[in-house]
Structure 1
Amino acid sequence: MKRIFIAGDAYSSRFFELPLDQDEELSLRPSIEVASYHVARFALIMQDDGLSGLGIFPGDALLISDFSMEPIKDRPVLIRQEGQFLVRIATDVNPVECLFTTTRPTDEPLLLPSENIRITGVVSGIISLSGNDV
């Protein structure tokens, strides 16, 4: 088993801040145990139900990796825009603009110019801490 530090809370409904620029600070945070083969750099705790259609519920730990061996289309990703972060589904990613959605029908799709954003991580695993079955 290996320990993954919990960097903070995650939201699909609004942008949030994360202290990702200092790995030393992460080592002071709480952690969770994951299988030793996992490539996650850190975890986030989901705080809303925008990804519940994917089986991700409030309180679940999202394991965030720096890369993905598979295409990210239709997968949840960690997006950074102007120092703020958001977890959404990468519906369409191209050099001009990117479309990000949730599974909640009341949320508007988010269309962002590619030059203004960076996909900084991919949800590579989920650990149910919420008590819901995944």
Structure 2
Amino acid sequence: MELLKIGGLNNAKMIPIVGIGLTKDFFEVDFNDEMTWNKFLQLENYHSAQFAIELGDNGFSELGISQGDYLLFQNYSYDSVREKIITVRSEERYIIRLATNVTPDTSILTVPANVYPPLELMSENIRIIGVECGFIKPHDDMVIIDTNDL
């Protein structure tokens, strides 16, 4: 995991903050309707993040990631995701968890110190949407553009 602190960047890109995500329960967000995305986070242009999710609970507090922090995700590749934070879709709902054990048959998704019970899901019924590639704690130099304010 990579903690970033940025602000006032000359060579920057904007990524959508697609919503508030949870580690405890499934949540809903529309990844298909870009028109519903009204907040964007400024990052260094070289960063691999494709989207951000604001964490809505404290399931990753053992990792130093708190409610209100922004998790940065890149698109899933076929590299191993074992022990990485992932966003998973099951039907039309999502959850953010550690990929403890992902096999072709089942996937076990957890949070550190088992703050919430592990989830065991049939791998054929889930899709990994993104793999965490950093996080940002709210700070004074952070730049978030809200298109509702324009």
> Taking structure 2 as the reference length, what is the TM-score of the superposition?
0.79
Work out whether residues 5 and 32 of structure 1, in 8 Å CA contact, stay in contact via their aligned partners in 2.
yes
User: Which gives a bigger RCO, structure 1 or 2 (Cα 8 Å, sep 6+)?
Assistant: 2
Alignment match, 1:10: 21
Per-residue deviation, 1:70: 5.2
> Taking structure 1 as the reference length, what is the TM-score of the superposition?
0.88
Unaligned runs of 5+ in 2: 1-11, 141-150
Unaligned runs of 5+ in 1: none
Per-residue deviation, 1:52: 1.2
| Correspondence list, 1:56-75, <5 A | 56-68=65-77, 71-75=80-84
User: 1: CA distance between counterparts of 2:136 and 2:78?
Assistant: 20
Indicate the SS of the match to 2:24.
coil
Percent of pairs identical after alignment? 34
| Correspondence list, 1:5-84, <5 A | 5-26=16-37, 29-68=38-77, 71-84=80-93
Per-residue deviation, 1:31: 1.3
Alignment match, 1:119: 128
Structure 1 residues 53-62 or 83-92, which shifts more? Answer: 53-62
1:73-96 CA distance string (max 9 Å, x none): 101100000100000000000100
User: 1: CA distance between counterparts of 2:123 and 2:28?
Assistant: 20
Aligned length: 129
Runs of 4+ more than 3 Å apart: none
CA-based RMSD: 1.8
Alignment match, 1:108: 117
Q: What letter corresponds to residue 64 of structure 2 in structure 1?
A: G
User: 2: CA distance between counterparts of 1:104 and 1:83?
Assistant: 28
